[in-house]
Amino acid sequence: MAQEPSFPGKAPESRIPGTGPDSRLSNTGPEPRPPGTGSGSRLPGTGPEPRFPGTARPSTPPAGGVAPPPPPSVRPPLAPPPPVRRPAQLPPTHTTLICVALPGLAISTDQGQLTGQGLEGFYRGGRRVLARCQVRVAGREPLAVQARMTAADRARFVGTLRASPDGGPDPDVVVERVRHADGTERITLHSSAPRPLRLPVEVSLGTDLADLGMIASGTAGPELPASVHASGLRWTGAAGGAAVTADPPPSDALASAGLLRWELDLPPGGSTTLELRIRQDGAGPVRAVGHVATSPLAQARATGDDPRVTALLGTSIEDLQALLLRDPAHPSDTHLAAGAPWRCGMAPAEALAAARMTLPLGTGLAAGTLRTLARTQLPGPGPRSGMIPGPRRDAGAHLPPGCTGTEATLLFPVLLAEARRWGLPEQVTEELLPTAERCLTWLRTTVGDGIYLPDPQPGGPMRSETQAHAHRAALLGADLLDAYGRPGGAGLRQWAQELRTAFRDDFWVEDRGGGRPAAALTPDGRPVPQFGAVAAHLLDTGLLGAGEPAPGLLDKVQTEQLARLFGSPALDSGWGLRGLGVKEVGYNPFGHRSGAVRVQETAVAVAGLATAGYEREAGSLLRGLLAAAEAFGHRLPEMYAGEQRTEGGVPLPHPAACRPAATAAASGVLLLTTLAGIRPDAPAGTVMLRPVRSVPLGEISLTGLRVAGEPFSVRVGRLGVAMVEEAAAGLQLGA
């Protein structure tokens, strides 16, 4: 498969060191993805290497063109067959509990003990600072009875054991472990024994100081030797060092065994606690951005007839806060990492998309994300001048990988324009306007005298979703330019009109079922007819002034047909939209772009269908996502299998999915605020409400949102009528 040509002026990497190719920001490399699935390899089970229609297959020798074998006397000895190369088997994430407070992670199984197997351990900046932490009480491991996340950054593990010799079958000691992503673990022993207990407690520790990429690919080295350090142990290797300190200090520390020991006295009904603190050399305590007063995300709350809405919004905001990162060179600017554990760095298109979906929580995240990416914009001259660089993304079995830099460049002016509608300060908008102008100039220059925006890769296709992103950027960008008296708006609107006219003919594939939008056009104009959830972007038209949605690429009849297709069993799995319809060639329910449910695309479809008036289809997809969220403990992964929902069933997790993921968490915000239909125009001092009148979840109240920089609360009653209950002074309700 041909590689995308490199961009000039490569932007600096923005990632947590050591997380491997899956979290690398590169304007030339492949999409961030789990180690072992880079360019030229695929996730296990996703089918053959994608081939764009019209590309040549590898040539084969013509018949009769093979030379005869040499005579037996000179025939060379048989060589052993080459070893079979198998794709790397990633450690699964779906069975782990992942505590996140970037740059800190703590990854555990439901057994509670950290054994150093798989991904288990404490991480800082993508490096495993502690791999093993095993607790024994009176020479025995506690019996694991429960493990659960109590917040995005911590998990609680409970084990029991019988310590009294004559206590019968019931356990009389409970061992509770609370593990934090910041590198802290508290181990508490609770006694129910009728007499005092004196219990020896041992904690066995070890680490390899390996980075996450090495661990994922199975190339992490052995554990390092330990040495006694203050009130704990420390390890030193080529990659640096780490230490564990204990409070209270242990009565004994054995470096050769990596062991800390205590003799603890527990009175009847009493408790005692040990605290371990894990630190990486040269790094201070983890101070997660989302846990400080300056977090850019409002603490909104949802309540209503369906109790699941409270958990979904609360968990979504917690996960978003856990994924926040600061720009190291500009600490006041924050943005979202793509997801844990594989993608703990910046992915430009996803950071912009997530910031856009979370505008109801305030414009601070949008401002930080835009400023951070503005500093990466490629300078001129040249065909890439004005682009926001981004990696390539796999597009499934029918298209070559696409450039997320194109998507990010088109999302930049869209996010800026919509953030202004939600209340982004004028000073910030004016500061970022030149970057948006350069993005729009790149768009018009790249289109040139044509109609469609092609791939940056020579000979690449004209993708349907790329035209949708470009059309939205042109219309919202034109409004932005007009608002500040900048030239170019009229030309963008004229091109958008020409694009709409051509798209409705060229990209529509007629069939017996009423037709469908093509996934792309080949360079010679042939449609690629495969149909999947990516078509949801055709419904995402964007927000103009006075709370009005921008026009879309499809006409009314085509939009109605798209809504019908999204409501069909071929696309709607009951848990959300499949990435590829079940009847399409190459469908794989676990294919991350060829059949799995990707939460972001389903949420975009729900919002777009609701805006277009197709509430029945929107409500069905919304209820499916909400049921999936409940099955995942309201922490939605970025994707899960597209298997059909059955009575009493649960969605099948994807073993390599990030969870939490920025776009999945942000989708929870978009889904619930869509029900209220909030369409603000802060510069005009108005807000319009267009609620989903079919109230698919019954009554719902949203409090603590942000519009025009002030708290905003709204309630949608059971009759589908929305009422503003709190708003900024002077903000008028539009008709």
Q: Token pair for residue 55?
A: 């590309």
**472 to 128, 311, 436, 502: CA distances (angstroms):** 43, 33, 13, 16
Mean local confidence (pLDDT), 272-300: 83
Q: 322: Cβ–Cβ under 8 A, 6 or more apart, which residues?
A: 100, 101, 102, 152, 153, 181, 288, 290, 340, 660
More confident residue, 667 or 85: 667
The pLDDT of residue 72: 43
Reported as type and span, the H/E element at residue 618 is: helix 615-631
Question: Scanning the structure block, which residue is given the tokens 């025995």?
Answer: 140
> How deeply is 169 buried, as exposed, middle or buried, from its count of CB atoms within 10 A (0-12, 13-18, 19+)?
exposed
Reported as type and span, the H/E element at residue 410 is: helix 404-422
Q: φ and ψ at 573, to 5 degrees?
A: -80, -10
Average pLDDT in the chain: 88
The angle formed by the CA atoms of residues 700, 702 and 708, to the nearest 5 degrees, is 145
- Angular region, 586: left φ>0, alpha ψ -120 to 50, beta rest: left
Per-residue pLDDT reduced to its tens digit, 392-427:
999 988 899 999 999 999 999 999 999 999 999 999
The pLDDT of residue 20: 34
The pLDDT of residue 46: 33
Evaluate if residue 74 carries a pLDDT over 50.
Answer: no
Residues of the chain with pLDDT > 90: what percent? 80
Mean local confidence (pLDDT), 478-482: 97
Q: Helix (H, G, I), strand (E, B), or coil: what is residue 471?
A: helix
The pLDDT of residue 24: 34
Evaluate if residue 4 carries a pLDDT over 60.
Answer: no
Question: Which string of DSSP letters, residue by residue, matches 27-91?
Answer: SSSPPP--TT-STT---TTS-SPP--TTPPPPP-PPTT-SPPPPPTTTPPPPPPPPPPP----PP
The pLDDT of residue 35: 38
Closest C-alpha to 712, from 686, 693, 683: 686
Residue 282's pLDDT band (cuts 50, 70, 90): confident
The pLDDT of residue 81: 56
What is the rounded distance in angstroms from the CA atom of residue 575 to the CA atom of residue 629?
Answer: 9
Q: 417: Cβ–Cβ under 8 A, 6 or more apart, which residues?
A: 436, 476, 477, 479, 480, 542, 543
DSSP character at residue 339 = B
DSSP character at residue 91 = P
The pLDDT of residue 375: 97
Evaluate if residue 221 carries a pLDDT over 70.
Answer: yes
Q: Helix (H, G, I), strand (E, B), or coil: what is residue 56?
A: coil
Mean local confidence (pLDDT), 566-584: 96
More confident residue, 28 or 505: 505
Q: Indicate the pairing of strand 197-206 with strand 184-191.
A: unpaired
Residue 134's pLDDT band (cuts 50, 70, 90): very high
Evaluate if residue 206 carries a pLDDT over 70.
Answer: yes
Peptide bond into 341 cis (omega under 30): yes
Kindly provide the b/e burial profile for residues 349-387, where b requires at least 16 CB atoms within 10 angstroms of the residue's own CB: bbbbbbbbbbbbbbbbbbbbbbbbbbebbbeeeeebbbb
Per-residue pLDDT reduced to its tens digit, 589-637:
999 899 999 999 999 999 999 999 999 999 999 999 999 999 999 999 9
Evaluate if residue 304 carries a pLDDT over 50.
Answer: yes
Evaluate if residue 58 carries a pLDDT over 60.
Answer: no
CB 577 within 8 A of CB 536: yes
What is the rounded distance in angstroms from the CA atom of residue 234 to the CA atom of residue 243?
Answer: 4
Closest C-alpha to 566, from 531, 599, 592: 531
Q: φ and ψ at 428, to 5 degrees?
A: -70, -40
Q: Tally the residues of the chain.
A: 735
Evaluate if residue 269 carries a pLDDT over 60.
Answer: yes
β-strand partners of 263 = 200
Q: 84: Cβ–Cβ under 8 A, 6 or more apart, which residues?
A: none
What is the rounded distance in angstroms from the CA atom of residue 484 to the CA atom of residue 195?
Answer: 78
Q: Token pair for residue 181?
A: 């992503």
Per-residue pLDDT reduced to its tens digit, 670-709:
999 999 999 999 999 999 999 999 999 999 999 999 999 9
CB 38 within 8 A of CB 401: no
CB 680 within 8 A of CB 672: no
Question: Scanning the structure block, which residue is given the tokens 């980075």?
Answer: 211
Evaluate if residue 52 carries a pLDDT over 50.
Answer: no
What is the rounded distance in angstroms from the CA atom of residue 188 to the CA atom of residue 158?
Answer: 10
Closest C-alpha to 179, from 129, 223, 121, 233: 121
Residue 49's pLDDT band (cuts 50, 70, 90): very low
Evaluate if residue 470 carries a pLDDT over 70.
Answer: yes
Question: Which string of DSSP letters, residue by residue, matches 649-701?
Answer: --PPBPTT--SSBHHHHHHHHHHHHHHHTEEEEGGGTEEEE---TT-TT-SEE
DSSP character at residue 12 = P
Q: 512: Cβ–Cβ under 8 A, 6 or more apart, which residues?
A: none
Residues of the chain with pLDDT > 70: what percent? 86
More confident residue, 219 or 277: 277
Whole-model pTM? Answer: 0.88
